[in-house]
């Protein structure tokens, strides 16, 4: 199974993972054979990619770090928590609902310590904020586990992460969802979500309110709202800051297409002791594959293959199924560890390039 851009879908491909709508409702079930009508519908609803079954990855599952059911439940939970915060003047949120959601995520992550983020959480452009909150929670908790926090501290971190952008409910939607570049004045309004977030949350818990207030502060003082500097920025705010950037870069937004996780990780790798404490950046990076399962790559000895998985703690060293030799001749596929062979990755190849290379095999990508 692998992720494929919508514009590369052709009728006859088999959907690898169920596509959910913003409220957790099913749009299309895993296993459906796609036809043009389904493809048009996905496009109209703002999806830019889906997972399809692919015989090149026979027997390889792309598992999320939490169950799909937990993620869908968490996303609809966040939707109603934020709706309550918006409709209620004092912004009161249901602490019990939040704790239930975070505990569900925590249980699964603690049970699965070797999990590596390989899956791009596919969501429609229109559904950014709720999915983003859940993803930030998942990634922040994984980083906290790597840093060795106890369960009660992980619960606080996960809660702050889930609610880090709650202040956005007070930012006018026409600014929040504006597809064009924001004016300087509009950006000042968006920045206020940190202050609104603190105001909403401080009646619940000071530490969680501080995460919402400070998740855009940066180690070198370039952040907001206070331009705080190291060592004045709490660890939890920095963790949420790092994962917030990762999720924003790797997501489709109303004003841009998603970038590849490798791009986000390379950017973040350069932010240690500049935007964030290096130990936070390093702990986060241990959990995320730069080349998710199903990515076509060329290794630095010239061979071309498709990523199978990535060992925990080694984001840039995937295990690859080699398909073409260094002269781009089709070979009998074999599995290759870049880590144990001391190889790096040269580049990511797009589907069109590899399809061309494999044109002796015209059925690639179809079930
Ligand atoms: Fe934010």
- Residue-wise pLDDT tens digits, 312-352: 999 999 999 999 999 999 999 999 999 999 999 999 998 77
Of the candidates 21, 126, 19, the one whose C-alpha atom is nearest the C-alpha of residue 75 is: 21
Q: What is the pLDDT of residue 116?
A: 87
- 237-241 average pLDDT score: 98
By DSSP bridging, strand 26-28 and strand 2-5 are unpaired
Does residue 38 share a domain with residue 152?
no
Q: What is the pLDDT of residue 96?
A: 86
> What is the whole-number distance in angstroms between the Cα of residue 312 and the centre of ligand 1?
28
Q: What is the pLDDT of residue 89?
A: 65
Q: What is the pLDDT of residue 126?
A: 61
Q: What is the pLDDT of residue 113?
A: 85
Residue 319 is assigned to a structural domain of this protein: yes
Q: How confident is the model at residue 365 (pLDDT cuts 50, 70, 90)?
A: very low
Choose between 105 and 130: higher pLDDT: 105
> What is the whole-number distance in angstroms between the Cα of residue 351 and the centre of ligand 1?
33
- 84-111 average pLDDT score: 85
- 57-79 average pLDDT score: 81
Q: What is the pLDDT of residue 191?
A: 97
* Mean per-residue pLDDT of the chain: 89
Does residue 337 share a domain with residue 238?
no
Q: What is the DSSP letter of 257?
A: P
Task: Enumerate residues with CB within 5 Å of ligand 1 (an ion).
Answer: 165
Q: What is the pLDDT of residue 27?
A: 86
Burial class (CB in 10 A: 0-12, 13-18, 19+), 146: buried
**Most confident region among 22-26, 54-58, 77-81, 155-159 by mean pLDDT:** 155-159
Are the C-beta atoms of residues 253 and 128 closer than 8 Å to each other? yes
Residue 63 is assigned to a structural domain of this protein: no
CATH number assigned to the domain comprising residue 175: 1.10.3210.10
> What is the whole-number distance in angstroms between the Cα of residue 99 and the centre of ligand 1?
21
Residue 58 is assigned to a structural domain of this protein: no
Q: Does 367 have pLDDT greater than 50?
A: no
> What is the whole-number distance in angstroms between the Cα of residue 217 and the centre of ligand 1?
10
Residue 366 is assigned to a structural domain of this protein: no
Share of the chain above pLDDT 70, in %: 93
Does residue 190 share a domain with residue 88?
yes
Residues near 191 by beta carbon (within 8 Å), at least 6 away in sequence: 216, 224, 225
Residue 291 is assigned to a structural domain of this protein: no
Q: What whole-number distance in Å separates Cα of residue 126 and Cα of residue 123?
A: 8
> What is the whole-number distance in angstroms between the Cα of residue 164 and the centre of ligand 1?
6
> What is the whole-number distance in angstroms between the Cα of residue 215 and the centre of ligand 1?
7
> What is the whole-number distance in angstroms between the Cα of residue 282 and the centre of ligand 1?
21
Does residue 231 share a domain with residue 324?
no
Q: For every residue of 316-361, which 3-state class applies, written as one string?
A: CCCEEEEEECCCCCEEEEEEEECCCCCCCEEEEECHHHHHHHCCCC
Does residue 161 share a domain with residue 75?
yes
User: Which tens digit of pLDDT belongs to each residue from 290-315?
Assistant: 998 888 999 999 999 999 999 999 99
* Minimum mean pLDDT range among 219-223, 253-257, 279-283: 253-257
Q: Does 360 have pLDDT greater than 60?
A: no
Are the C-beta atoms of residues 101 and 162 closer than 8 Å to each other? yes
Share of the chain above pLDDT 90, in %: 60
Does residue 195 share a domain with residue 96?
yes
Does residue 74 share a domain with residue 193?
yes
Q: Does 362 have pLDDT greater than 50?
A: no
Q: What whole-number distance in Å separates Cα of residue 187 and Cα of residue 183?
A: 6
Which residues are paired to 14 by β-bridges? 33
Are the C-beta atoms of residues 141 and 154 closer than 8 Å to each other? yes
Residue 261 is assigned to a structural domain of this protein: yes
Does residue 259 share a domain with residue 112?
yes
> What is the whole-number distance in angstroms between the Cα of residue 213 and the centre of ligand 1?
9
> What is the whole-number distance in angstroms between the Cα of residue 341 and the centre of ligand 1?
41
> What is the whole-number distance in angstroms between the Cα of residue 190 and the centre of ligand 1?
9
Q: What is the pLDDT of residue 92?
A: 66
Does residue 211 share a domain with residue 74?
yes
Choose between 360 and 99: higher pLDDT: 99
> What is the whole-number distance in angstroms between the Cα of residue 28 and the centre of ligand 1?
31
Residue 367 is assigned to a structural domain of this protein: no
> What is the whole-number distance in angstroms between the Cα of residue 249 and the centre of ligand 1?
13
> What is the whole-number distance in angstroms between the Cα of residue 112 and the centre of ligand 1?
28
What is the domain extent for residue 215?
Answer: 68-285
Residue 60 is assigned to a structural domain of this protein: no
Phi, psi of 101 (to 5 degrees): -65, -50
> What is the whole-number distance in angstroms between the Cα of residue 194 and the centre of ligand 1?
7
> What is the whole-number distance in angstroms between the Cα of residue 39 and the centre of ligand 1?
33
User: Which tens digit of pLDDT belongs to each residue from 163-213?
Assistant: 999 999 999 999 998 888 999 999 999 999 999 999 999 988 999 999 999
Does residue 36 share a domain with residue 109?
no
Q: Does 364 have pLDDT greater than 50?
A: no
Residues near 115 by beta carbon (within 8 Å), at least 6 away in sequence: 63, 65, 109, 142, 287, 312
User: Which tens digit of pLDDT belongs to each residue from 114-156?
Assistant: 888 876 656 666 667 888 999 999 999 999 999 999 999 999 9
> What is the whole-number distance in angstroms between the Cα of residue 30 and the centre of ligand 1?
33
Residues near 178 by beta carbon (within 8 Å), at least 6 away in sequence: 186, 254, 255
Does residue 307 share a domain with residue 272?
no
Of the candidates 47, 49, 3, the one whose C-alpha atom is nearest the C-alpha of residue 307 is: 3
- Domain end point (choices 231, 262, 285): 285
Are the C-beta atoms of residues 295 and 306 closer than 8 Å to each other? yes
Q: What is the pLDDT of residue 46?
A: 77
> What is the whole-number distance in angstroms between the Cα of residue 216 and the centre of ligand 1?
6
- Strand, coil or helix: what is 183? coil
CATH number assigned to the domain comprising residue 38: 3.90.105.10
Residues near 97 by beta carbon (within 8 Å), at least 6 away in sequence: 77, 80, 81
Are the C-beta atoms of residues 264 and 206 closer than 8 Å to each other? no
> What is the whole-number distance in angstroms between the Cα of residue 26 and the centre of ligand 1?
29
Does residue 175 share a domain with residue 105?
yes
- Domain end point (choices 266, 285, 304): 285
**Most confident region among 129-133, 253-257, 262-266 by mean pLDDT:** 262-266
> What is the whole-number distance in angstroms between the Cα of residue 319 and the centre of ligand 1?
35
* Number of domains present in the structure of the chain: 3
């Amino acid at each position: 199974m692998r992720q494929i851009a919508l514009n590369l879908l052709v009728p006859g491909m088999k959907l690898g993972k169920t596509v959910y709508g913003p409220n957790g409702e099913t749009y299309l079930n895993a296993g459906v054979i796609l036809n043009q009508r389904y493809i048009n519908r996905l496009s109209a609803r703002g999806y830019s990619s889906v997972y399809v079954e692919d015989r090149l990855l026979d027997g390889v599952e792309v598992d999320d770090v939490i169950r799909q059911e937990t993620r869908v439940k968490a996303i609809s939970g966040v939707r109603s928590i934020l709706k309550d915060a918006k409709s209620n003047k004092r912004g009161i949120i249901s602490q019990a609902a939040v704790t239930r959601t975070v505990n569900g995520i925590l249980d699964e992550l603690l049970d699965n310590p070797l999990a590596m983020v390989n899956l791009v959480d596919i969501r429609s452009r229109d559904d950014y904020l709720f999915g983003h909150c859940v993803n930030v929670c998942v990634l922040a908790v994984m980083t906290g586990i790597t840093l060795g926090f106890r369960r009660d501290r992980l619960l606080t971190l996960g809660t702050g992460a889930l609610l880090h952008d709650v202040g956005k409910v007070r930012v006018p939607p026409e600014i929040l969802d504006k597809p064009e570049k924001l004016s300087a004045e509009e950006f000042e309004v968006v920045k206020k979500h940190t202050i609104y977030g603190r105001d909403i949350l401080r009646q619940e818990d000071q530490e969680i309110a501080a995460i919402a207030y400070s998740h855009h502060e940066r180690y070198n003082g370039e952040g907001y709202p206070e331009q705080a500097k190291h060592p004045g920025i709490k660890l939890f705010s920095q963790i949420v800051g790092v994962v917030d950037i990762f999720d924003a870069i790797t997501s489709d937004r109303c004003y841009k297409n998603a970038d590849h996780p490798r791009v986000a990780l390379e950017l973040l790798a350069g932010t240690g002791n500049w935007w964030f404490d290096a130990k936070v950046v390093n702990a986060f990076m241990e959990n995320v594959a730069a080349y998710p399962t199903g990515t076509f790559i060329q290794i630095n000895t010239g061979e071309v293959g498709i990523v199978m998985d990535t060992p925990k703690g080694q984001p840039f060293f995937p295990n690859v199924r080699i398909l073409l030799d260094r002269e781009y001749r089709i070979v009998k596929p074999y599995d290759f560890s870049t880590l144990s062979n001391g190889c790096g990755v040269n580049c990511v190849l797009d589907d069109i390039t590899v399809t061309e290379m494999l044109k002796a095999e015209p059925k690639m990508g179809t079930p």
